[in-house]
Amino acid sequence: MKHETVFVSGNFNVLHPGHLRLLKFAKENGSRLVVGVFTDRVAGVAAHVPQEFRLEAVKMNGLVDEAFFVDGPVEEVILQLKPGLVVKGKEHRARENPEQKAVESYGGKLLFSSGDVVFTSLDLIRREMASQEQRSIALPKQFMARRKVTAKSLSDLMTKFEGLKVVVVGDVIADEYISCDPLGMSEEDPTIVVTPISSKTFIGGAAIVAAHAASLGAKVRFFSVVGDDASANFCRKELSKFGVEHHLLVDDSRPTTLKQRFRSRSKTLLRVSHLAQRSIEEPLQRELVKNVVDACAAADLLIFSDFNYGSLPQAVVDQITTAAAKKNIKIVADSQSSSQIGDITRFKNADLLTPTEREARLALRNTEDGLVIIAEMVCETANARSAIVKLGEQGVLLHARSGKSFETDQIPALNSAPQDVAGAGDCMLVASSLALTVGANMWQAGLLGSIAAAIQVGRVGNTPITKAELLHELTS
C-alpha cells in the first residue's frame, strides 16, 4: 500500500550507495518523500560536513520532494508531520527506535528497509579527496589505520608466496577482444555498425586464475575439461608460457568456451559466447576427481573457479572438498553468475567465498536483506569461515568469523579510472587466497585482493598480475 507521505531522517554527510537505496525504497512506498537532516548540534561528532552542504545535497536528489533541518528529537518532528510511513535501514531493527512510539500514536507505521548503510560517509569523503591525485589507484588509508594493516606487512606476506603449492580446478575460457571502428547507425534499422580492426585473445576463467597464482610465485597445478579445438590448443600454449602445470581432459562433444568481446573506444558493445552449458559426463567426472584429489595430497591451497559451464558438477565438488578437508589445506571458491545461474553456497566448508552481491542474493533467493546479513547468511549456509562480497564500483564487503560471531568491514573501489572490469574478481580471488594461506588475517587478505583488482581494471584484457605490480602500488 502506498502512503501519502514517507519520512526519512539522518546525517547524510555524503549520499553514498546505502543512502540511495534507502531513499529509493522509501520513495517506492509513498507519493511524497520528506527527509529530515540532523543539524550539526544534533549530529555532534558524526557531522563531518557542515549542515548547509548536507541539506543542499539531499535537496538536489531527484527522489526527495522536501528536505529540512531537524534540530531536536526526531520523534517531535514526526508528531508534527504525521507521515504515514517512517523508513529506517534494517541495521536499526535490533536497536532502540524512539520513532516507534511517536508513529504508532497516530496510526502510522515504522518500516525497516533493505537499503542498509554499508559505506560510511567519512570513507567516501576521504576517497573523494584522494581521487584528486594524479594516480588512479589510492590505498584506503582509513581502513589500513583502523585494521592496523601496513604496506610493509603486505609486502612481507608476498615474500611467502614463493613455492606455495596451489591446485586450481574449474572452467577454461578463451577471451577474445575485438577492437572495432564505429561507422555509424544503420539506415535500415536502429543498429550500430562497426568494422573490426584488430583482435587479441587471452586465457580466462579458471585458467587465468591459475596463471595469476603462478605469476605471484606459487607452484600451480591446473585441472579442467576442454574441447578438441583451436581454443584448447591456445589455452595449453598460454598456460605453459605462464609456468602453469596443466592437466586438461578432452571432451570432443563440447567446445572450449570462447567469449568474444566487441569493443570500441574503451567500451564493450557486444559479447558473444560460444559454449556448452551442461555437466561433463560421469567418466570424465571420475577422472577429474581422481586427478585433483591426488594433487591435493601435497597442496597448500585448493581454488575452485566455477563459471557454471559444466566442469564442476556437485558430485565433483563434494568429493574434492571432502578430500581436501582431510588434508587440512585452505579451500576457497568463486562461482560466477554473470549470464548464467550459479550457487556459491554449494561450496561447503570453505575458508573463503568471493561472490558478487548479485551472486550471493541469487544463491540465497534473498533480495530484501542488507548486505551484512546477506554475507552472514552466505557464510552460515555454506559453513564458510569468511566471505568477500564484491560490489563493483562500490568496492567490497569483508565478512569473517571472529570467535563465535562475525566481524564486518568494507574497502572502497581503489581505482578511480577503470578501463575493463573483466577479470577483477579473478585477481582478487587469487591474491586474497594466497595471503590467507601464508597466514594473513581477513583485513590484510581483503586489501591485497582489492589492490590486485584495482590493477587489473586499469588495463584491457586478462593478463597475469605480478608481485612487482603489487609492490609498486604499495610503495608509490
pLDDT of residue 17 exceeding 80 = no
Of 469, 457, 454, whose CA–CA distance to 130 is shortest? 454
Q: How long, in residues, is the chain?
A: 476
* Integer Cα distance of 405 and 413 in angstroms: 26
Tell me if 212 sits within 8 A of 464, measured CB to CB.
Answer: yes
The C-alpha cell that represents 386 in the structure block? 569468511
Average pLDDT over residues 98-112: 91
The DSSP element (H or E) to which 174 belongs, if any, is: strand 172-185
Amino acid symbol at 277:
Q
pLDDT in tens, 446-470: 999 999 999 998 887 788 999 999 9
Of 120 and 356, more confident = 356
The C-alpha cell that represents 398 in the structure block? 569483508
The mean predicted confidence, pLDDT, of the chain is: 88
| Position 340 confidence tier, pLDDT thresholds 50, 70, 90 | low
pLDDT of residue 56 exceeding 80 = yes
pLDDT at 417: 82
Tell me if 83 sits within 8 A of 6, measured CB to CB.
Answer: yes
The C-alpha cell that represents 306 in the structure block? 566455477
Of 461, 352, 459, 438, whose CA–CA distance to 161 is shortest? 438
Q: Indicate yes or no: pTM above 0.85.
A: no
Tell me if 213 sits within 8 A of 303, measured CB to CB.
Answer: yes
Average pLDDT over residues 342-367: 94
Kindly list the domain boundaries of the chain, sorted by start residue. 3-117, 141-475
pLDDT at 229: 94
Tell me if 235 sits within 8 A of 174, measured CB to CB.
Answer: yes
| Position 396 confidence tier, pLDDT thresholds 50, 70, 90 | very high
At the second CATH level, the architecture of 3-117 is 3-Layer(aba) Sandwich (3.40)
pLDDT at 117: 44
* Integer Cα distance of 366 and 388 in angstroms: 17
Coil vs helix vs strand at 353? strand
Average pLDDT over residues 92-103: 85
The C-alpha cell that represents 406 in the structure block? 562475525
* Integer Cα distance of 413 and 416 in angstroms: 8
* Integer Cα distance of 404 and 90 in angstroms: 22
Tell me if 226 sits within 8 A of 247, measured CB to CB.
Answer: no
- Burial, 153: exposed, middle or buried (Cβ in 10 Å; 0-12, 13-18, 19+)? middle
pLDDT at 134: 41
pLDDT at 132: 38
* Integer Cα distance of 286 and 265 in angstroms: 46
What CATH topology corresponds to 141-475?
UDP-N-acetylmuramoyl-L-alanine:D-glutamate ligase (3.40.1190)
Place of cell 605480478: 466
pLDDT at 142: 92
* Integer Cα distance of 346 and 344 in angstroms: 5
